[in-house]
Amino acid sequence: MFRRLSFIIISTLALWTGASAQINTDQVMRIGRNTLYFEDYVLSIQYFNQVINAKPHLAQPYFYRAIAKLNLEDYLGAEADATLAIERNPFITDAYEVRAVARQNMGKLAEAVDDYDHALTDMPVNRGVLYNKALALTDMKDYSRADSTFEILIDAFPKFDSAFLGRARMRLLTNDTIAATADIDHALALNRNAVNGYIMRADIAINSHRDYPAALADMNEAIKLQPRYAGFFINRAYLRYMTDDYYGAMADYDYALQLEPSNTVALFNRGLLRSEVHDINKAIDDFSQVLRIDPMEYKAMYNRAMLLADIGDYDAAIADLNTVIDAYPQFAAAYFIRYDVKRRKGDMNGAKTDYDRSMSLAGSDEMTPTLMADNTGDEPATETQEEVKRRFESLATVDDNSEPDQVYSNQNIRGKVQDRNLAIEMEPMFALTYYTSPTELKQSGDYIKEADEVNATRALRFLLQVTNHIPAMNDEDVIRAHFSSIDYYTSYLSTHKARPIDFFGRAMDYITTRNYDQAITDLDRAIELAPDFTVAYLMRADARARNIMTDIVHEPDQSAPAGAQVTLASREAIDNWQMVIADLDRVAKLSPDMAIAHYNKGVVLARLQDFTSALRAFSRAIELKPDFGEAYYNRGYVYLHLGNRDAGTTDLSKAGELGIVPSYNLLKRMNR
C-alpha cells in the first residue's frame, strides 16, 4: 500500500518572519529555521524549545517544531504541536495540513480528511492536499469519494504521474486490474522514471498472472532507478528464484546485505536458499545472524532447528524447537520435527509423546495464530497448521515496495536522523566521570548537586562530571596521568591518615582505567569511613554494574543454538545486580531528590526483566526531573516491550523533543 505520508505544500517560511518583542527570540527562531532547512531536525527542535519557553503564546515555534517532528516520523508529537499552533492562531492553513499528514500516518483518517478539507477551503486546487486526501479516503475504503478527489486532481494536474499511480492503487483495491494497469501505463508514459509504477506493475504480474518474467523485467527497471535500495534486490531475488535462477537470487541477497548488513529478510531468505542447495553450515549461520538481531524471530529458529538436526546437533535442535513450541503450543509441525529429532537421538518415549501431540493437532480444526504478521498494518490473522508451516518455510518478500515514492513539494519535509541504522537499546546508566563527549545537543555533562559539592572541596585531582555516555580512553597521555594519580594516592595513603575522599579519588582513577575490582575495594573503604558518602555508593553501583557487563560480554553469543547458551540470569549475576540496586537505594535514601538514582535503578530492573518495577523507577525519575529525556526514552522502551504502544510512543515523542536522538529511529520502526 501507499506510504501515507506523501506530499505536502507548506507556504514560504518567510511568511513567519513577524517581529518579536525581543531580538533574542527572533535570532533563535531564525537559527532554528535555518537548522530545519539543513535537515538537522533534532537540533532545530532544541532551538524552537527555547523560543517556546520564552514566549509560549507564539504559534510559529510550535508550527516549525511540528514540521521537524513530522520529518522525524514523530507523528504524535507533530499532531500535538500543530494543534498548539492552531489553538494560538486558527488561521494557519499550513498547520492544518501538517496535522492532517501526521494524523494520516497514525491511521486517524477521518480526522485527517477533516483537516485536508479545512486546508482546501483556503486553497481549493492544491495538488498536495488533494493527493493526500485521496489517499486517506482510499485507506478509509471510501472509494467513491476517493475517485472523485482523484478526478479533481487529475483534471487540475493532468501530468501529475503520482495521481495516476494513486488511482491505480485504489482501483487494485476494488479489483479493477485492467483500469489500474491502464493508469500505471499512463503514469509511466508521463514519467519513465516513476519507479513505483514499475513496482506496482510487477506486483500485478505476480499476483494476477504469475508472470514472473514480466515482473522481473519491471523489477530490473526499478533497480536501475534506485540501485541502492536493498528491498528491490530482495524482491528481485525472489523473482529470480521463481524463474529457477538460483545463482542470480543468491547474488541479489548478497548484494542486499552489502547495502544493509542487518537486513533480517535478506539473511532469512538467503538462509532458506542456502539450505535448499545444501550449504547447511552457512544457512545455519544466516539464521543465527537473524536471531542475533531479533532473538524472537521464530521462523529462523524453526528452520535452524531442522538444519541442526540434519548435522546431528540434536540437543541444540531440540532447544530451538522447545522455544518455538513454547511460543506456539498449537504448532503441529514443530512437534513432528521434535518427534523426529528425539527418535533419532534415541528418546523413544519423548518421541512418542510428540508424535501423538502432532497427529492430534494436525487432525484437529484448531487454528494457530500466524507466526509472521504482515507488514501492512492489518490485524494478525489466524491460519491452519499447513498454512503456518508454509509461511515458516516460504521465502519472505519485502512489503510496501509497490508504493509510489514519497513526494514533498516543500523541501523542509524529508527524513534524516530517523533513517540511521541505530541499534535499538536502552539508554545506559549515569555515572560520575572525569570526561564527557560534548555534542550539539548537549554541550556539557549533566548536573547533580552532590558532584558539585565534591568539586567545591577541591580535594580531587580532576573535576567530576556527570554523563551516561563515557568516552573511550584513547589518549595515552591521559591514561598515563591516571596511572600516575593512582600511584600518588597509594603513596599518600601509606604516609597519611586515611580519608574517604582519597579512597574515592583513587577509585575514580581505577574506574577511568577500567579496573573495576580495585575501584570497588576502594569505594568499600570510603564507605566504611563515611557511611553517608552518597557519590561513593553511586559509583560503587556503577563499578559493580560495569563488572557484570564485562562478564556478560565474554559469555557465549545469545544467538547461538539455545542448547549451547549460558544463561545471563545465573544466580551469581542476579545477586550482583541486587547489590547494584542496594547501592542505588542507598543513594536515593541519602539524596531523595537525585533523579539519576531512580533512573539507574530502572535500567538495572529492566535488565533483570522486572519491567513493572522499572516503569515505577523511571516514572519517579521523571517526577523529580521533568525534562529527563533519557528517562522518557527508557520508559517508552519498556512500555513498547510490554506491548503498550500508545504510552511508549508518547514517551518516545517527549524524549525526542528533549534531544534523545535514538527516539526517532525507534519511532520510525514502530510506525512501519
Average pLDDT over every residue of 341-355: 93
Secondary structure letter of residue 445 according to DSSP? -
Lowest mean pLDDT among 560-574, 578-592, 640-654: 560-574
Average pLDDT over every residue of 477-502: 89
DSSP H or E stretch at residue 467: strand 465-467
Please check the confidence at residue 6 and state whether its pLDDT lies above 50: no
* C-alpha cell read off for 542: 556503577
Average pLDDT over every residue of 6-18: 38
Q: For residues 667 and 655, what is the distance between their CA atoms, to the nearest angstrom?
A: 11
Closest listed residue to residue 609, CA positions, set 650, 560, 642, 586: 642
Average pLDDT over every residue of 194-200: 94
* C-alpha cell read off for 374: 504482515
Secondary structure letter of residue 431 according to DSSP? E
Q: For residues 52 and 478, what is the distance between their CA atoms, to the nearest angstrom?
A: 41
Average pLDDT over every residue of 154-163: 96
Q: What is the pLDDT of residue 545?
A: 92
Please check the confidence at residue 3 and state whether its pLDDT lies above 60: no
Q: What is the pLDDT of residue 40?
A: 78
Q: What is the pLDDT of residue 76?
A: 94
Give the CATH number of domain 1-194. Answer: 1.25.40.10
Q: What is the pLDDT of residue 655?
A: 93
* C-alpha cell read off for 131: 493527493
Q: For residues 545 and 549, what is the distance between their CA atoms, to the nearest angstrom?
A: 6
Q: For residues 152 and 162, what is the distance between their CA atoms, to the nearest angstrom?
A: 14
Please check the confidence at residue 644 and state whether its pLDDT lies above 90: no
Q: For residues 527 and 504, what is the distance between their CA atoms, to the nearest angstrom?
A: 9
List, for residues 27-52, the tens digit of each pLDDT value.
888 888 877 877 778 888 888 998 99
Q: What is the pLDDT of residue 438?
A: 63
Q: What is the pLDDT of residue 570?
A: 60
Does 431-671 match 262-403 at the fold level?
yes
Q: What is the pLDDT of residue 531?
A: 96
Q: What is the pLDDT of residue 671?
A: 67
Taking CA atoms, 267 is separated from 287, 321, 373, 375, 612, in Å, by 7, 20, 18, 17, 34
Q: For residues 27 and 33, what is the distance between their CA atoms, to the nearest angstrom?
A: 10
Q: What is the pLDDT of residue 552?
A: 56
Q: For residues 201 and 185, what is the distance between their CA atoms, to the nearest angstrom?
A: 8
Are residues 412 and 36 in contact, defined by beta-carbon separation less than 8 angstroms? Answer: yes
Q: Which residue has the higher pLDDT, 19 or 616?
A: 616
Are residues 83 and 65 in contact, defined by beta-carbon separation less than 8 angstroms? Answer: no
Phi first, then psi, for residue 319 (nearest 5°) are -60, -45
Please check the confidence at residue 571 and state whether its pLDDT lies above 90: no
List, for residues 319-345, the tens digit of each pLDDT value.
999 999 999 999 999 999 999 999 999
Q: Which residue has the higher pLDDT, 422 or 644?
A: 644
Please list, in sequence order, all residues whose beta carbon lies within 8 angstroms of the beta carbon of residue 601, skipping any fewer than 6 positions away.
Answer: 581, 584, 585, 588, 617
| Top CATH class, 431-671 | mainly alpha
Helices (H), 72-211: 75-88, 93-105, 109-122, 127-139, 143-156, 161-173, 177-190, 195-209
Secondary structure letter of residue 556 according to DSSP? P
Please check the confidence at residue 580 and state whether its pLDDT lies above 60: yes
Q: What is the pLDDT of residue 364?
A: 64
pLDDT tier for residue 669 given thresholds of 50, 70 and 90: confident
Q: What is the pLDDT of residue 391?
A: 40
CA atoms within 13 A on the CB side of 650: 6
Please check the confidence at residue 136 and state whether its pLDDT lies above 50: yes
List, for residues 50-70, the tens digit of each pLDDT value.
899 999 999 999 999 999 999
pLDDT tier for residue 477 given thresholds of 50, 70 and 90: confident
% of residues, the chain, pLDDT over 70: 82
Q: For residues 78 and 84, what is the distance between their CA atoms, to the nearest angstrom?
A: 10
pLDDT tier for residue 17 given thresholds of 50, 70 and 90: very low
- State the average pLDDT for the chain: 84
List, for residues 201-222, the tens digit of each pLDDT value.
999 999 888 999 999 999 999 9
Please list, in sequence order, all residues whose beta carbon lies within 8 angstroms of the beta carbon of residue 583, skipping any fewer than 6 positions away.
Answer: 537, 538, 540, 541, 544
pLDDT tier for residue 417 given thresholds of 50, 70 and 90: very low
Average pLDDT over every residue of 579-607: 95
List, for residues 368-382, the tens digit of each pLDDT value.
544 433 333 344 445
pLDDT tier for residue 252 given thresholds of 50, 70 and 90: very high
Q: What is the pLDDT of residue 400?
A: 42
Average pLDDT over every residue of 623-641: 93
Residue 639, SS3 per DSSP: helix
Average pLDDT over every residue of 259-275: 95
Are residues 414 and 68 in contact, defined by beta-carbon separation less than 8 angstroms? Answer: no
Please check the confidence at residue 399 and state whether its pLDDT lies above 70: no
CATH number assigned to the domain with residue range 262-403, chosen from the 4 options 1.10.580.10, 1.20.1250.20, 3.40.50.300, 1.25.40.10: 1.25.40.10
Please check the confidence at residue 666 and state whether its pLDDT lies above 50: yes
Average pLDDT over every residue of 235-253: 95
pLDDT tier for residue 661 given thresholds of 50, 70 and 90: confident
Q: What is the pLDDT of residue 20?
A: 38
List, for residues 493-527, the tens digit of each pLDDT value.
989 998 999 999 999 998 888 888 899 999 999 99
- Exposed, middle or buried by CB within 10 Å (0-12, 13-18, 19+), for 10? buried
Q: What is the pLDDT of residue 396?
A: 52
Residue 382, SS3 per DSSP: strand
Residue 491 CB neighbour total at 10 angstroms: 10
**Domain definitions of the chain by residue range:** 1-194, 262-403, 431-671
User: Could you give the angle at which helices 385-393 and 332-345 cross, rounded to 10 degrees?
Assistant: 70
